[in-house]
Chains A and B, each alone.
Chain A
Amino acid sequence: MICAGIDAGSRAIKVVLFDHARSMVIGRGLADQGVAQPRLAEEIFAATLSKAGIDRHQVRSVVATGYGRNRVAFATTTITEITCHARGVFHLAPDTRSIVEIGGQDSKVIRLENGGRVRDFAMNDRCAAGTGRFLEILAARLDADWSKLGDLSQQSRQPALISSTCVVFAETEIIGLLAEGVPAADIAAGVQNSIATRVMAMAGRPLTAPVLFTGGVALQPGMVRALATTLDCPVQVAPEPQFTGALGAALLAARIAATASTSSP
């Protein structure tokens, strides 16, 4: 039985195809998010299917998750990012007790019980301070490419202290630091620390190890160090962290298809 998960995030749309019989991922797709969300989701889904050599009719059920989940017209049902990330992480690293996910516009902390059930979670409100948005603003300020920021932060000797809890104020703070001649590398590392601190404040309490780091921002070199230092405990990066939500969605899709087929005559 083949099932699909679509994670329609604020920055990118991710697709995972999962073959239940063989218990393996048989296809992945990723596209930048845009204005024409429903069409983009449709296109990346079709492209992922054809690359995997799967016919649309073979897909038993599709779960959409993420910010744009309600705009994925072909989804069988929708499930929130929280539940999907938890499910994806449980599949990849069943021992995980805490998940930190930092995406383009939001961040979450999920605490898991034994057995992978969500114990509780926290998500950022309107504020973008603990999210990838902060890195984008920094990149624009430093005239650098987003993907280069991580490497830049690695060269830092003494991360700058960025204390504003608001992205808008922090941007002003960065301008001030630049004017003072603080090296860009130290600012980049400082921003990473600041994101980690905001995420921890959002969690509101110490996290239980093992901690798994997911979401697009986890890919950035330096972020894991920042998080591990702030948490004062080792942090693992999820394999293919961008796909954790879509994977969880595909796995939940399989469960939904299974329940549907056993309950119908």
Chain B
Amino acid sequence: MLFECAHRERSERMSPTADPIAHFGAMIDRCYDYAEAAKAAGRPIVGIMCEFTPREIILAANAVPVCLCGGSAATIPAAEQVLPTNLCPLIKSTFGYHLTGNNPFLNWADLIVAETTCDGKKKMFELLGESKPMHVLELPHKANAPEALAYWTDEVRKLKTALETRFGLQITDADLRRAIRLMNRERGLRRRLAQLMRHDPPPLTGRQLLEFKSIISGMEPDLDQYESALRLLTARTAHTATTVDNRARVLLTGVPLVHGAERVLELIENSGAVVVAMENCTGLKPILDDVDELDPDPLAAIARKYYHLPCSVLTPNSGRLCTLRELAAAYRPHCVIELIWQACLTYDVESHHVRKLAEEELHLPYLKITTDYSPSDSARITARIEALLETARPD
């Protein structure tokens, strides 16, 4: 399940299969093989922790962008030797992997891009930077401000320069354009897969859809598998169009469900609901927009697309409410569930706006779940989910 599994013997791993959906089951193993081969071929590995980091710049440097976000409760005790207990589990888990040395991708990383998003991550990166090469990518926090976009564009340019210097190469506009096309294709395919969930009944569960999310961006072999999965699933929706589905449809929002931390999604779907849309960073948020391929300045186009990501670290983050409105209209949920990792201040405070939007504007029942990676409150969370579903569909 977690990064550790990648240590399994090659022979035990899934053999190539004709079923594109099964193909995505062994994501970590595939990423492991891919990164190992890339590394052997001389491609650098660049660790990232946020959807603000433009994958295109890293890909244009012929490097492999890997998400290092930890989703395991097992590494948290190690992290708590150094970090405060009252910190977001995602940050603690990531750092715990660093201390225990159990994340091969982190061990391989030639560079880590430290995005200044939330305070917890920002300060954790400082500690990580004591033993890892690091480049700080500063995200200005004022949304919709032209001067902030200008600053951010400059930061993205500095990232490009840093990669050029470190890896001894030149990133040309042609490289950038190639990377843009690759990432646009990836986003487009993932977006179309996610849009299949608009169907009633949807052809997948939310949990199954999440399987399509990879920790490495721009893995070309996966894109062809996405294509076949899309064909297969589109055909499936045609067959089930007349089936009556009495599961409640859920719009899930809030913090990312990084690999290994899918528990709440599973609790929701085990309670007889189906998560049709995930607004978070492991769901739709980063794949809704593409980079303009025709812009004469590809770097500026990249910066613009990433800057407009509606994350709670920005202020004001009204873009998120717009996204939620659009998703509610397109995916027709019966209720909204917001997940907050314990001690994630920005999402926790922002939940005030989300609740208001759900209840007063969308007229949908809303539930906020605050938890961490420990399963000890699963029964309690289930009770609240079931109660919400009873409210959403009383009869």
Alpha-carbon distance A126/B371, docked complex (angstroms):
8
Number of interface residues of A (CB under 8 A): 14
Cross-interface CB contact of A123 among B359, B376, B384, B394, cutoff 8 Å: B384
On whether the beta carbons of B377 and A120 are closer than 8 Å, the reply is: no
Q: In this assembly, does B4 line the interface, its C-beta being within 8 Å of a C-beta of chain A? A: no
Please measure, in the bound complex, the distance between the C-alpha atom of A79 and the C-alpha atom of B386, giving whole angstroms. Answer: 8
Q: Are B383 and A80 interface neighbours, CB within 8 A? A: yes
CA distance A83 to B380 in the complex (A): 15
Within B357-388, the residues touching A (CB, 8 Å) are 359, 365-366, 370-371, 376-377, 379-380, 383-384, 386-387
Of residues A79, A80, A117, which shows the largest number of chain B Cβ atoms within 10 Å of its Cβ? A80
Do B383 and A67 touch across chains, with their CB atoms under 8 A apart?
yes
Q: B390 near A: Cβ within 8 Å?
A: yes
From B365, B377, B387, B391, A126 is in contact (CB under 8 Å) with B377
When A120-B359, A120-B365, A120-B366 are in contact, do A67 and B387 touch as well, CB less than 8 Å? no
Given the complex of chains A and B, what is the CA–CA distance between A1 and B121 in angstroms? 60
A82 within 8 A of B: yes
- Please tell me if the beta carbons of B377 and A83 are within 8 angstroms of each other in the complex: no
Q: What residues of A have a CB within 8 angstroms of the CB of B359 in the complex?
A: 120
Partner of B391, one of A67, A118, A123, A125: A118
Q: When the two chains form their complex, are residues A121 and B380 in contact, meaning their CB atoms are under 8 A apart?
A: no
Residues on A with C-beta less than 8 A from B387 are 80-83, 118, 121, 123
A186 interfacial contact with B, CB 8 Å: no
A118 to B386 alpha-carbon distance, docked (Å): 13
- Closest chain A residue, CB of each to CB of B377: A126
Q: In the complex, what distance in Å separates the CA atom of A83 from the CA atom of B384?
A: 11
Closest to A121 in B: B387
Tell whether, in the assembled complex, residue A83 and residue B370 are in contact, meaning their CB atoms are under 8 Å apart.
no
Contact A125 B390 (CB under 8 A): no
Q: Given A120-B366, A123-B384, does the pair A79, B376 have CB atoms closer than 8 Å?
A: no
A101 within 8 A of B: no
* Complex interface: chain A residues within 8 A of B366 (CB): 120
Q: What's the Cα separation between A82 and B392 when bound, in Å?
A: 13
User: CA A79 – CA B365 in complex, angstroms?
Assistant: 18
A106 contacts the other chain (Cβ, under 8 Å)?
yes
| Distance of A81 Cα from B379 Cα, bound (Å) | 13
How far is it, in angstroms, between the C-alpha of A82 and the C-alpha of B387 when the chains are bound? 6
Residue contact B380 to A126, C-beta cutoff 8 Å: yes
Determine the distance from Cα of A166 to Cα of B377 in the docked complex, in whole angstroms.
17
| In the complex, per-residue mask of B220-243: 1 if CB is within 8 Å of any chain A CB, else 0 | 000000000000000000000000
Contact call A80/B386, Cβ cutoff below 8 A:
yes
Question: B384 contacts which chain A residues (CB < 8 A)?
Answer: 80, 82, 121, 123
Which 7 residue pairs spanning A and B have beta carbons closest together?
Answer: A82-B387, A80-B387, A83-B390, A80-B386, A118-B391, A126-B377, A123-B384
19 inter-chain pairs at a CB distance below 8 angstroms, sorted by A residue, are: A67-B383, A80-B390, A82-B383, A82-B384, A82-B387, A83-B390, A106-B380, A117-B391, A117-B394, A118-B391, A120-B359, A120-B366, A121-B391, A123-B380, A123-B383, A123-B384, A125-B371, A125-B380, A126-B376
Tell me the A residues contacting B by CB distance below 8 Å. Answer: 67, 79-83, 106, 117-118, 120-121, 123, 125-126
Residues of chain B whose beta carbon lies under 8 Å from any beta carbon of chain A: 359, 365-366, 370-371, 376-377, 379-380, 383-384, 386-387, 390-391, 394
